[in-house]
Every structure is written in structure tokens, then in C-alpha cells.
Chains A and B, each alone.
Chain A
Amino acid sequence: MTDTATLDRPRAARRFPWRRFGTDACWMLVPVVICAVIVTWSFGDGTGFGINLLVSACIGTIAFSIINGVRLAFWGEGRRPHPLAFAALIAVGVPTGQVAGARVAGWLLGRELTSLHTLGSSRTSGMLVFTLLATGAVTLFFASRDRVARAEAAAAEERARAEAVERQALQAQLQLLQAQIEPHMLFNTLANLQGLIALDPGRAQQMLDQLIQYLRATLSSSRARHTTLAQEFALLQAYLGLMSVRMGERLSYAFELPDELRAVEIPPMLLQPLVENAIAHGLEPTIDGGHIHISAARRGDLLTLSIVDNGRGPEAGPGKAGTSVGLSNTRARLDALFGARASVTLRPAEGGGAVACIIIPL
């Protein structure tokens, strides 16, 4: 029922909307009766109501079938016909309905209704104007009904979109919860912590602080709808701090967050999965490890977030088993929140490695 739904289908594949035609036909009964009443009691020539109703029904039905039938066949349910084309359609439909309807009514009644279908006679011209006015009224009525239907469709689409956003947020929340208790991450971190307690209690204390910061940040951001860039970068700092204890010399990292962007709001945990990917698939499988550079920049009314690593690059295939959901989840999340205005891309970096880039409207 939406504009787009009919637009993306080629006209040939569109089936004639018989249901709609039927409901419209039911609505047609109302103006048919009204016209019969007007003709009988306001400017009739003494003909009885029953006969007028039959004539009105014949004329109305034929005019309606031509006009509405052609409209639905050509423009479908959701689209508005071009005003000129529609005017032409009425110009054809009304006289045809008038003449053919009067003839059919005459044949049913067993008498000629010449005064109603002789084009050029004054009575016929008067009735033609009347039919035209009636058709105009009916058209206005249907047009307003269409407008309401379109508005409802748009509202439904908006609702669906809001639901999708909601669902994505919920999914992200679940994934966050899973990420927090991702056994490998936690166990490896604990193993290192255990080692440091014996080897270097001072550093163990530091690492424990980072773990607490990381868990607190993930927990709070999994409940929040928004986070600021400053908070997101702090979370990444804690995460990379933990990772660099584990990877030692093999991991180095740098952040670039301009002051004026610190307070910008973004969906929580947007960058985390992509940073995790850069480490798991880009750096961890390499003997020498490498560097991660995370930056935020403003270009006009767009925010660009980049994660650049100098690891194996996206061509190298996954660095560890497991489903590569990080990228597709991020894409789905952004799509639900911002539609076509946002994007996420992963491409090879110049000189090896990968660039993950998120663009969202500010």
C-alpha cells in the first residue's frame, strides 16, 4: 500500500487491484443515490425516484468503471495520477458514462431516453454538466480517502522503522552482554591478571583497573541509548589497554578525537566490534602484530569514524574461527537508525592493513 511498494515493481508485473476496485464500487452507491435524490426532487422532469435511481446507477457505474478502472490499471493504488491525464480521463469517462449509461437504462426500462444521450440537446447538456459535477465530487471524495490512506501507510512505515531501531538496539544490547562475558576475552584477561599478581603486583593493579573500567563502560552503555564520542573512546582505551597487556610489544594504538567532537552523541558500542575485528583478524594472526589508529573527523554535516590497522588486510580471510557478525551487525544497526544517510565500509588500506570507516549524519 506504500508508494515504494508499487514503484519498485515493473508495471507489467503489477496485478490489477480488484479488491480496491470492489470497495470503491461499494462507496459509489452513496453518490448514485444522492444524485437520484437530487434529480428527482430538485430539477427532475417528474420522473419517479426508482427510474432516476436506475439511470443514475447506470451512468454512475459506467463512468466510475472507466475512470477508476483506468486509474487503477495505470497508476495502481498508491500513486497519484498526473492532474492533466486525470482531467482527460474524466473528459472521456463522463460523456461515455452519460450516453452509454442512459442507453443501458433505456434498454432495461424498455424505452428510449433520448433526452439523456443525444449530445447537443439542452437537456442532455444539462445532465452532462450534472454528471460532471457529481463525478468531480466523487473524485474529490476518493482523492481525500487516498490521501488518508497514504498518510496511514507513511505512519505505518515510520512505526515499522521505529520498531526496527528498537529491535536493533535490543540486539546490540544482547550482543554487548555477550561481549562482556565473551569467555575467551574474560578468561585470557584473568589469566594475565593472575600472572601479573605473581610477577608484577603494580601492573596487576593497573590491569584490574582497566578491566573494571571496561566492564563498567560496556555494562552502562549496553543500557544507554546514546553515548558520547568521549565515552566511546574511553571504553576503547580500556579495551585496547587490556589487549596490549596481553599482546605486549605486538600492539600499539593511537586515538584522534578533536575537542569539538567530544560531546557528539553516537549509538553505544558502535566502534567496539570493529576494533575487535581489527585485532582478531588483522593483527593477532601476524607474528609482529601492528598498530591501530582510531579517529573521528567532521566533514560538513557528516561524522566520519575511522579504524585503521596495518595488519593482514581484509583480503586475508578471517583470523579466527567464528561468525563475522561485527560488520554486518553494525551495518544493520546504522541502517535502522539513519537509513541511507549512514554507511560502514571495510577496505584494504594503502600499504597493507584495513580501514573500517563509519559515516553518520551529525
Chain B
Amino acid sequence: MTTALIAEDEPILAAMLAASLQRLWPGLEIVATCPHGVAALSEALARQPDVLFLDIKMPGKTGLEVAEELAEQWPGGRPFPQIVFVTAYDEYAVQAFDNAAADYVLKPVSDERLGRTVQRLRQRLETQPAGGMGAVLAQLRALAGAQPAPAPAERLTLIRAAVGNQVKMIPIADVVYFEALDKYVNVVTADGEALIRTSLKELLPQLDDKVFWQVHRGTIVNAACVLSALKDEAGKLTLNVRHRPEKLRVSPLYAHLFRQM
């Protein structure tokens, strides 16, 4: 029995997708219908279905974020689910999904299109029961690359961070890594930490991508400070960095940055 999860914040569209799937794929069991991204992630981890239908625009987490975090937290040795993105009319996104060779269906979902997707999924589940995390990661990377480029920002040379009642000046080269903390970013240097009120998303365009690498949703590391990358039994990658005792986790999405030459 093949199992599926539907993540969609509009209840009628979720019910409609479930009804269409029952028509087109009687052997498919829908084990969970989730109204937001947070539930989708926890349910997918708990039930480990074969197929996920992820709405792109959901409260809590977007469909892309769910897929990425699922790849990070997926238990080793289990086949990774096939993922189909469900997206509203939006030309840019459609172009990007095509380019990323990702499975997607457009809302309103037509039976004809969904039928083709179902056929492809069944074929793939038969021929390669071992999960295609690699394929999904490649798609996510392509989609991330297809995000509309943020407005070119000024290069950041000096970080002004509030520490207590004083403002600390931190030269950008002194930063070992940045980590996201709720509404703040923690700036970590060899001799301390300081918070700045911004998000990693806003920070990223202001950094030189040859010097600072994103290695995780919540971490940007100074590449010159990376000493080694370590893989554990479960295949999870961590970094040892200069001047700091912490080990930084690498998301599967960015693991390719640390392959040996």
C-alpha cells in the first residue's frame, strides 16, 4: 500500500486533491492532511509516507522549507519520499519548477495533469524504491538558485552590534560564523558573541559569497575558518571551525560544498 501526505492550508483544495487522488490512484492511502507547514514536517517525520504533496505557500513553513528540513531530519536508512509541489498560478515559479525538473501541479489541479504526475510517481516508486533524496536536494538547490535575486546590497565591512549598553564594532573578517536566533542573528567571533537585529535572509546579500558560505538554513560560516567536515554513521555532516568549540551542522542541501576534491 502506497501512502501519501497532503499539506495544504485551504481546506477545500486539500479535500479536492484527496478526492482526485482517490479517483486516479485507488491504491493510494492518504495518511495525513496538514493545514500548515509545521504540521506537515512533524507528520511526515512521524508517518514517513511514500509521497508528499506540498503546497508552496502555507503558513508556518513554505513547501520548500518543509522539503529542506525534512531532508535534514530524515532518519538514515529509510527511503526518502517522492515530493510533488502544489503551486498557485505564478509564471515565475512554474518556470523555476520546470528548470529544476521538480514534480509540480498547478492549482486549480486538473485531473489530466494530476494523472500524468500519478503515472510518473508510480513508475518511480516501482523502479527505485530506495528514496531519491539526492534528486529532491538537486531540485531544491535549483529552486533556491531560481529565487528572484535580492536587490544588490552594499557589501558589509563592519558589523555594529549592541552588547549591553555599548555598540561593538566587529570587522567582517573576524566573524567565524553567523547563526539565526529567532528574530536576531548571533555574530560569533573568536572572542565572543553579539546579537544583531536582522535575519540571515537580509544578511546574505550583503556578504561576499566566496568568503561566507551558507551551510544550513540557520548558519552562515566563514569558509576560511572551517578546519574539517565530519560525517557520522547516519550520514550527517558537521564542521569543526577555528577558534570555536562548537560543531556546526551542515544541511544535506549544502553537503556538496564539502565533498573531497
Query: What 1/0 mask marks residues of chain B from 6 to 42 whose CB sits below 8 Å from any chain A CB?
Result: 0001111101100100000000000000011010000
- Residue B235 is within 8 A (CB to CB) of chain A in the complex: no
Interface size bracket, B side: 20 to 34
* C-alpha gap A320/B59 in the complex (Å): 11
- Grouping DSSP codes into helix (H, G, I), strand (E, B) and loop, the A interface class, with mixed when no group exceeds half, is helix
* C-alpha gap A196/B88 in the complex (Å): 17
- Residue A199 is within 8 A (CB to CB) of chain B in the complex: yes
A245 contacts which chain B residues (CB < 8 A)?
12
- Residue B60 is within 8 A (CB to CB) of chain A in the complex: yes
Whether B10 lies near A286 (C-beta < 8 A) is no
Instruction: Find B19's partner among A188, A192, A198, A247 (CB 8 Å cutoff).
Output: A198
Instruction: Find A195's partner among B9, B15, B60 (CB 8 Å cutoff).
Output: B15
Known: A199-B12, A246-B10. A286 touches B59 (CB 8 A): yes
Measured CB to CB, the closest approach of chain B to A216, in angstroms, equals 23
B232 contacts which chain A residues (CB < 8 A)?
none
Whether B10 lies near A247 (C-beta < 8 A) is yes
Interface size bracket, A side: 20 to 34
Known: A248-B10, A287-B59. A190 touches B108 (CB 8 A): yes
- Residue B90 is within 8 A (CB to CB) of chain A in the complex: yes
- Which residue of the partner chain A has the closest CB to B36? A287
* C-alpha gap A184/B88 in the complex (Å): 7
Query: What 1/0 mask marks residues of chain A from 228 to 251 whose CB sits below 8 Å from any chain B CB?
Result: 000000000000000001111110
Whether B11 lies near A191 (C-beta < 8 A) is no
Whether B89 lies near A183 (C-beta < 8 A) is yes
- Which residue of the partner chain A has the closest CB to B202? A317
A320 contacts which chain B residues (CB < 8 A)?
57
- Residue B113 is within 8 A (CB to CB) of chain A in the complex: no
Query: What 1/0 mask marks residues of chain B from 77 to 118 whose CB sits below 8 Å from any chain A CB?
Result: 000000000001110000000000000000111000000000
List the 8 closest A-B pairs by CB distance, nearest first.
A195-B16, A191-B108, A248-B11, A187-B89, A195-B12, A191-B107, A287-B36, A194-B108
Residues of B whose CB lies within 8 Å of any CB of A are: 9-13, 15-16, 19, 35-36, 38, 57, 59-60, 88-90, 107-109
Residues of A whose CB lies within 8 Å of any CB of B are: 183-184, 187-188, 190-192, 194-196, 198-199, 245-250, 284-287, 289, 320
